[in-house]
Structure formats: structure tokens, C-alpha cells
């Protein structure tokens, strides 16, 4: 037994495929834009500034002079870790928000954790 698919049904599938392809292209363009973006994040009340890009690469770390205490290296280390973690969270949150605009919040697998 052969099944006949009405002609108007095929058009809907083609439209869905075109929409999916457009979404993929938009996501790739947005990903490239986000990777080129730079973020600046402060921690410790502004004594540490971290600059990071959308690829999650640390570009620079600036320390206020008053935080550099040779007798208390542990505090400095903790603040640097906190600043870097906050910078990464900022990049991830921005990427997730931007991708949600494209996907309409569809919750696609692998998104946004892939950033």
C-alpha cells in the first residue's frame, strides 16, 4: 500500500528546514560576535579587574597596589580566583541571553553550556 502525501504538506517541511538553517546561520554569526567581545569585571571591591573575551580567554588582570601584601598572598590568590570566576560567569550569562534571543528560548541541547 502506498501512502500519498498531499502537496501542501511538503511545503511546511521545507519552510521548517529553511527556518532551522536560518537559525543555525544566526547562531554562528552571534557566536563569532560574542567571541570577539571583551568584558571587564571587578572583584574585591574594585581591587582586582579582569578583562576576558568571549572565548573565555583572560586578556589581563590588574591589581590595586593596596591588595599586594607579601605577608598575605592567600587573600590575593583568593581574590584573583573570584575575579576570574566572575568574569567567566559574565561571559556565559551574556552568551546564554544572546542565544536565547535567537532560539526563542527553545532550550536546544548543548546550549548554552558549550560556551
- Under 8 Å between Cβ of 94 and 34: yes
- 112 contact partners, CB below 8 Å, separation of at least 6: 92, 95, 96, 99, 100
Q: Residue ranges per domain, the chain?
A: 25-103
Residue 111, helix vs strand vs coil: coil
Residue 90, helix vs strand vs coil: helix
Mean pLDDT of the chain: 85
- Give the pLDDT confidence score for residue 104 in this predicted structure: 79
pLDDT tens readout for residues 15-42: 888 888 888 898 999 999 999 999 999 9
Fold designation for 25-103: Ybab; Chain: A; (3.30.1310)
pLDDT tens readout for residues 71-100: 999 999 999 999 999 999 999 999 999 988
Amino acid at each position: 500500500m502506498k501512502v500519498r502525501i498531499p502537496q501542501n504538506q511538503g511545503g511546511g517541511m521545507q519552510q521548517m528546514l529553511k527556518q532551522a538553517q536560518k537559525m543555525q546561520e544566526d547562531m554562528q554569526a552571534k557566536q563569532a560576535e560574542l567571541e570577539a567581545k571583551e568584558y571587564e569585571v571587578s572583584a574585591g571591591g574594585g581591587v582586582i579587574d579582569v578583562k576576558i573575551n568571549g572565548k573565555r580567554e583572560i586578556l589581563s588582570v590588574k591589581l590595586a597596589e593596596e591588595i599586594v601584601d607579601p605577608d598575605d598572598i592567600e587573600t590575593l590568590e583568593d581574590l584573583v580566583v573570584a575575579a576570574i570566576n566572575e568574569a567567566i560567569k559574565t561571559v556565559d550569562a551574556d552568551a546564554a541571553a544572546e542565544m536565547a534571543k535567537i532560539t526563542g528560548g527553545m532550550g536546544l541541547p548543548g546550549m548554552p553550556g558549550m560556551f
